[in-house]
Amino acid sequence: MITKLANETKFSPFLTFTREEWRELCEVPFHSLSEEELEKLRGLNETISLKEIQEIYHPLSKLLNLYVAATQELHKSTNTFLGSNSEKVPYVIGIAGSVAVGKSTTARVLQALLARWPNHPKVDLVTTDGFLYPNAVLEKRGLMKRKGFPESYDIRRLIQFLADIKSGVAEVACPVYSHLAYDIVPNERQVIRRPDILIVEGLNVLQVASGDGEPGYAPKVYVSDFFDFSIYVDADESDIEHWYVERFKLLRNTAFQNPNSYFHRYAGLTDPEAVEIARHIWREINYVNLWTNILPTRNRARLIMTKSSDHSVQTIKLRKL
């Protein structure tokens, strides 16, 4: 490892690890997931294995545990210095990346592993889908084909949510999004009650967009300002497109078959038709959003996980302190 660090490019802001180098950082995990537990965490069309958990996610959870523990000690030291007894606030981890890259699975796996460390057993997960404007608002503003772009989110509400979290508010509620209905669920809320760690996952979490869809609005505070640690899940664009198309085909045979699904109209598509439509959606919406808004934020992350075509992580980049 000393040779590895010595050979790092002097002016790079990151330390780069191969898969083999990364797994050596945590050879014997003190806990693990069972195959049944992992099955519940897997995303659609993802092939994450127990080997991937041990070689990639255990070292990452160990690193995050060290960061959380250090922050908790800093909180205690600050209280001692100030002569106060303020409660600690949640350690917030942001996870970003493209549609279909697997960031949701990464978030769920990290939630499960981090909750097994004894000094932070309460780990909550929030996705920024809940902060999308309702479809009625998006339709009124002509933004339905821009869903997932910065202007389709209620950034003010998301920032207020995170400000309340970091202020130590006892209960903070956020909207709930339904992928079946493709819309915000009316009168339903997810309530966050002072977790030890809060994971915030979404396309937009590292963006510094100039507005939230309202003319003249330019935020002075950004979502990422509230993060203690951030992760970007990366892959080659051609692989992500392939994963997106394959996921669309699977959804056609599963969720889209539900008459209540927003995409039920795609349920009867043939394979060639499904591939054509999925590729069209990718090119017209997700590809544009990736290259315009998401990919430019990659180097703002504290850690970058780069996947190969089989979804396995091959490279880890960790920002130097």
pTM of the entire predicted model = 0.92
- Phi, psi for 43 (deg, rounded to 5): -85, 165
pLDDT confidence tier of residue 285, bands split at 50, 70 and 90: very high
In order of 4, 197, 210, the CA distances from 13 in angstroms are: 15, 26, 26
Asked whether the predicted pLDDT for residue 263 surpasses 80, the reply is: yes
pLDDT confidence tier of residue 91, bands split at 50, 70 and 90: very high
Name residue, tokens 């997931």.
Answer: 33
Domain extent, residue 226, equals: 2-319
Number of domains in the chain: 1
Q: Cα 76 vs. chain centroid, distance in angstroms?
A: 29
CATH code of 34's domain? 3.40.50.300
* β-bridge mates for residue 229, sequence order: 93
Mean pLDDT of 135-141: 98
Hey, CA dihedral for 252, 253, 255, 260, is it positive or negative?
positive
Q: Is the separation of the CB atoms in 222 and 208 below 8 Å?
A: yes
Q: Is the separation of the CB atoms in 210 and 218 below 8 Å?
A: yes
The whole-number pLDDT of residue 214 equals 56
